[in-house]
Amino acid sequence: MKYRMGIRDTYQGERFLTFSEASEFLGIRSYTRISEMVRGGLLPAFELPNTDRYRVRKSDVLALIKPEGAKTIRKQ
């Protein structure tokens, strides 16, 4: 199985992304914003076995991307 990292990724299946890859998909300059999203409960993360490293699912990251022209509704 061959895939590219970040936004050049063409793999159609599910896979786990690093925080840096996730930030690239979302157009965010820093992976620390992804960490904040995880701590805030906006984005679920999964700990890799036998490490202190976390990853996020590609589908969860893509679900945060709004379609072109979509409007955000603000609650008052």
Q: Is residue 4 part of a domain?
A: no
Q: Are 31 and 38 contacting, i.e. CB atoms less than 8 angstroms apart?
A: no
Q: Are 26 and 65 contacting, i.e. CB atoms less than 8 angstroms apart?
A: yes
Q: Is residue 54 part of a domain?
A: yes
Confidence category of residue 17, pLDDT binned at 50, 70, 90: very high
Contacts of 17 (CB under 8 A, 6+ apart): 25, 55, 56, 57, 58, 61
- Domain holding 38, by residue range, is 13-63
Q: Are 7 and 19 contacting, i.e. CB atoms less than 8 angstroms apart?
A: no
Confidence category of residue 45, pLDDT binned at 50, 70, 90: very high
Q: Residue 73: is its pLDDT beyond 70?
A: no
Q: Is residue 8 part of a domain?
A: no
**What is the per-residue pLDDT for 11?**
75
Q: For the whole model, what pTM was predicted?
A: 0.75
Q: Is residue 25 part of a domain?
A: yes
Q: How many domains does the chain have?
A: 1
